Amino acid sequence: MVKKSISAKIYPGLRPNESIRVLISDARVKTRLKQLAKEIRRDFPKESLHLIGVLKGSVFFLTDLARELGGEVSFDFLSVSSYGQGTDSTGEVKLIKDLDVSIEGKTVVVVEDILDTGLTLKYLLRFFEEKKPKHLRVVVLLDKVERRIADVHADYTGFVIPNEFVVGYGLDFDERYRNLPDVCVLQFASQGKAKSA
Ligand code: IMP
């Protein structure tokens, strides 16, 4: 399959030293989302599901998934930031915005945009487990399996992707590109591929 490149004409936000190409089209994302929703509902057919989105990357994923799930669904968001960006990341995570409502006794599905080293998810799982949900599951849209450091996994995974820096469908580079409908690989002219930190 020929991978579609996106020019500055199509996406005016593109900077001169950056190029993007579609990795997963929005149509493929939507199709996979329906399947993920079915998988989750198969496991919890009658349960009220409480989705927790990790801001901001998971916003489109969560809202699209919520509409595919059917049945009773509520949601909440939290925001975290990693201390120490880069390859020497300590894995310490700082809570920026806490949950609005208690998750005790609820069937919780954590909705993450991308699983990279897994350090953020490891922190989040510990944080949520302490709050005694009835069930705790994780759904991720994208999984860079080869980057994993922490021993964590998602219960439901949209796509396993190679170690390339991706933007679009909520994912950003420096707060840009979140509004691209497709999941795209971002590359820099001077540096070649932008690998995640
Ligand atoms: P982890 O703790 O290394 O698994 O990092 C997960 C977080 O890193 C995600 O929620 C994203 O915010 C960010 N991230 C990792 N890889 C990418 C990428 O390719 N594009 C955009 N953000 C990414």
Atom 11 (ligand 1) nearest CA: 114
The predicted pLDDT at position 6 comes to 74
Distance from C-alpha of 80 to C-alpha of 94, rounded to nearest angstrom: 5
pLDDT tens digits for 72-88? 999 999 999 876 554 34
Q: Report pLDDT digits (tens) over 39-68.
A: 999 999 999 999 999 999 999 999 999 999
Whether 126 shows a pLDDT value over 80: the answer reads yes
Provide the pLDDT confidence category of residue 140 given band limits of 50, 70 and 90.
Answer: very high
DSSP 3-state of 66: helix
Query: Does residue 113's CB lie within 6 angstroms of at least one atom of ligand 1?
Result: yes
| pLDDT given for residue 87 in this prediction | 36
Q: What's the whole-number mean pLDDT along residues 87-99? A: 76
Residue 26 known to be catalytic? no
Q: Which atom of ligand 1 is nearest to the CA of 57?
A: 12
Selected catalytic residue, list 26, 98, 113, 116? 116
pLDDT digit string, tens, across residues 16-40: 889 999 999 999 999 999 999 999 9
pTM of the predicted model, to two decimals?
0.91
How many angstroms separate the alpha carbon of residue 134 from the centre of ligand 1? 27
Work out which ligand 1 atom sits closest to the CA atom of 144.
16
Binding site membership of 120 for ligand 1 (Cβ less than 6 Å): yes
**pLDDT value of residue 197:** 45
pLDDT given at position 109:
98
Cα-to-centroid distance, 46 and ligand 1 (Å): 32
CB 138 within 8 A of CB 156: yes
Give first-to-last CA distance, the chain, whole Å: 28
pLDDT of residue 145: 95
Q: Hey, whose CA ends up nearest to atom 19 of ligand 1? A: 165
pLDDT of residue 129: 98
* Residue 135 pLDDT > 90: yes
Ligand 1 atom nearest residue 113's Cα: 10
Rounded to an integer, the average pLDDT of 153-180 is: 96
